[in-house]
Amino acid sequence: MTGKRFTVWAFSVSALAAVVAAGTIAWLSVRDDTPSQRGDASVTGNGLVGLGEYLVRAGSCEGCHTERGGARFAGGRAIETPFGIVYSSNLTPDASGLGGWTGDDFWRALHNGRSRDGHLLYPAFPYPNYTRLARGDADAMFAYLKSLAPVAAAPKPHALRFPFDQAAALAAWRALFFRPAGFQPDREQTPSWNRGAYLVETLGHCNACHSQRNAFGATAGPLDLAGGLIPVQNWYAPSLNDRNEAGVETWPVADVVALLKTGVSAQASVQGPMAEVVAGSTQHLRDADLVAMATYLKKLPSRTVNVVVTEASVGNVGNKAGRVIYERHCSGCHGERGEGVAGAYPALAGNRAVTLTPAANLVHIVLRGGFPPTTAGNPRPFGMPPFATVLSDEEVAAVLSHVRSTWGNHAAPVSTLEVARFRGSAR
Amino acid sequence: MKLRFARVAGCVGAACLWAAATLAGAQPAPFEDSLGQRLLACTGCHGKEGRAAADGYYPRIAGKPAGYLYNQLRNFRDGRRHYELMAGLLAPLGDDYLREIAGHFAGLEVPYAVPLPAAETSAVRAAGESLVRRGDPGRGLPACTSCHGTAMTGRAPFIPGLLGLPRDYLNAQLGAWRNGKRRAAEPDCMAKIAALLAPADIGAVSAWLASQPVPAATARPATASEALPMACGGVDGSAAAAASGAQR
């Protein structure tokens, strides 16, 4: 009897503890779920729609919410994550999209990460960034989306693996990593710096790629821009505050603006996922906003982490196998000494995109080739041919190791294994 | 032929530049800013006359009708045709540039190679020729020539020629139409035609077409205006703008 009574007692205590824990997680996952604030009513009508269109572009919404070749904003694009596939939703004003939504519903999605019916949204939708948006901006975005032609496109069910498909898992994730917030301007800084901070931290959601995610897929927050390997795609989004990676501390503002506006600048060009960002978002931003972003990015606290390998440990001689491949396939455009052709083919000597570690992006570019995006400022970009069908993993490793360790470059070699790993994700 | 894009040599026409082999010790041609130079990413694989590689055949693009090339570029970019390398290259490119790219390659005149003799029996080739020239009215199958031209050199600006293409490429494309791997804008006329073809028909048509020489005088797509036997989404409507752009 005593034993049985103990079992009942222990069960009751465990059940109570579970209820308390679940309640705590549930509360933490929706804490600060404040009632909606009202927006700034000074902009209305067409002005509101125009502003909303601009902000929707600044937020790159169309990129994820449009399937390849599909109707704009009708959703259905598969966003691959380490936890499975999340399908984007329909943002057009159809019954299967935002048709029945109010401005308050839309605000709650952006600010609290909860859908119209209250269910929690997966953070593939970057509401940890959008939570800092101003209510007036959210209202403008909503007005623009409501002005689109409705497209019937029923939402596709996500294909997440257990336990990530469980509502409790999402609640726990939010309890740990999400809290609604607002943008806090820094009074010590200029209005332009603050505008840049707002765009980078909120709509730009730059940290979604440019920071390392933990085992639960969470970033350290919108202010962390220290670089990270993009999950599944395996492109490396370089650190924005490391001058050996993609930090712009030493760049003229005009070069940062040119890169975001046209996809190319005197110092670099964009390819891969960043080409998508420039094509769909930053090329459409006003110069004043691009200058603001550049101002903010230039003042990021400098942290040099990606220390280049010293000449003593690598030598500065390249390697013979790599040199032969380079001379056959690469030197025609990139030059015999990696000098490139200004405005057309990037120099490889002294190019930090070449010496980045990991070398993921280099492997992608050699295997798949690529163009920077077409933009008003660069309507006919120069392209690089793909070599996936020409060079073996071993040859790619040899030629990349060569260019990373000659003409003054001092980066670690690339192994055949690394090439194989990135080739696998290059499809 | 191995892929080489190291040195650039001039050829026919002001804008025509082709990737050519590196010769040890040769001086590089001076850099010239041209569309051909910007599109070495294309010619690296497609070469002058198309190119066979381990993973399949890269078709010739020189001299194909501009509207056809433009449609294919958009089909690859927008997911109606499937080849990852093409899709990846085209993903960041807008319609205006694709139109210029199509016009550039459509304007190139590169001689066709002499076709390889067919290995199939004469009965198979005769069956292929019959389908190409007369179709099979009993099955509702129009003749290939009714759209692609009696000379089979295509019809500007949207319909490609059928000659000068290797048998394997023709087989692969007709097979892809048949199983839905290759698509075009709706109404997708080639998908309907391919669905009516048996595998043996495809083999016969490909064998005969691949063994025909390209008549030099008529190698350019014709501009015939007879009505097509069926509606084709790639030929009219939105795509019409493509042609005028490409012919600028």
The pLDDT, as a whole number, for residue A41 is: 53
**Chain A contact present for B96, CB below 8 A:** yes
The pLDDT, as a whole number, for residue A107 is: 97
Instruction: Average pLDDT across each block of 10 residues of chain A; the chain has 427 residues. List them in order.
Output: 69 74 70 57 76 98 95 96 96 97 97 95 96 97 98 96 93 94 96 98 96 91 91 93 94 98 95 96 98 97 66 58 96 95 94 94 96 97 94 96 94 93 69
Axis-axis angle for helices B66-77, B95-106 (nearest 10): 140
**Chain A contact present for B85, CB below 8 A:** yes
DSSP string of B52-96, one letter each residue: EETTEEE---TTS-HHHHHHHHHHHHTTSS--HHHHHHHTT--HH
Domain-located, residue A121: yes
Tokens of A28: 């933490």
More confident call, B141 vs B30: B141
Using an 8 Å CB-CB cutoff, list chain B residues near A274.
Answer: none
Domain-located, residue A9: no
Are both A163 and A234 inside the same structural domain?
A: no
d(CA A334, CA A366) in angstroms, rounded, equals 13
Are both A123 and A195 inside the same structural domain?
A: no
The average pLDDT across B18-32 equals 47
Domain-located, residue A71: yes
The pLDDT, as a whole number, for residue B57 is: 79
d(CA B120, CA B185) in angstroms, rounded, equals 34
A371 and B89: CB-CB below 8 Å?
yes
**Chain A contact present for B31, CB below 8 A:** yes
User: Out of A67, A69, A382, whose CB is closest to B38?
Assistant: A382
**DSSP-derived 3-state class of residue A261:** helix
pLDDT at B26 over 90: no
B22 and A332: CB-CB below 8 Å?
yes
d(CA B247, CA A64) in angstroms, rounded, equals 35
The pLDDT, as a whole number, for residue A27 is: 65
Are both A46 and A172 inside the same structural domain?
A: yes
Using an 8 Å CB-CB cutoff, list chain A residues near B19.
Answer: 332
Among A243, A263, A298, the domain boundary falls at A298
**DSSP-derived 3-state class of residue A396:** helix
**Chain A contact present for B91, CB below 8 A:** yes
B6 and A374: CB-CB below 8 Å?
no
Residue type, B173: Q
Strand A228-229 relative to strand A236-237, pairing: antiparallel
pLDDT digit string (tens) for B62-121?
Answer: 989 999 999 999 999 999 999 999 999 999 999 999 999 999 999 998 888 788 888 888
d(CA A201, CA A127) in angstroms, rounded, equals 11
d(CA A153, CA A155) in angstroms, rounded, equals 6
Q: How many CB pairs under 8 A join A and B?
A: 122
pLDDT at B221 over 80: no
Q: Which of residues 35-64 of A touch B (CB under 8 A)?
A: none
The pLDDT, as a whole number, for residue B110 is: 84
Question: Which of B23, B45, B80 to substitute to test the interface with A, most A CBs within 10 Å?
Answer: B45
Are both A146 and A217 inside the same structural domain?
A: no
Domain-located, residue A186: no
CATH code assigned at A316: 1.10.760.10
pLDDT, averaged across chain B: 81
Q: Which domain holds residue A269?
A: 191-298
B29 — pLDDT class (breaks 50, 70, 90): low
Are both A202 and A105 inside the same structural domain?
A: no
Domain-located, residue A183: no
Using an 8 Å CB-CB cutoff, list chain B residues near A328.
Answer: 4, 6, 22
d(CA B41, CA B34) in angstroms, rounded, equals 13
Domain-located, residue A388: yes
Question: Which of A68, A235, A274 to substitute to test the interface with B, most B CBs within 10 Å?
Answer: A68
Distance from CA of B232 to the nearest CA of A (A): 19
The greatest distance separating any two alpha carbons of chain B, rounded to the nearest whole angstrom, comes to 64
Report residue B7: phi and psi, to 5°: -105, 150
Contact between B230 and B192 under an 8 Å Cβ cutoff? The reply is: yes
Domain total of chain A: 3
Are both A77 and A108 inside the same structural domain?
A: yes
Residue extents of the structural domains in chain B: 122-232
Which CATH code is given to the segment(s) B122-232? Answer: 1.10.760.10
B226 — pLDDT class (breaks 50, 70, 90): confident
Cis check for the bond before B187: say yes or no (omega within 30 of 0).
Answer: yes
pTM: 0.85
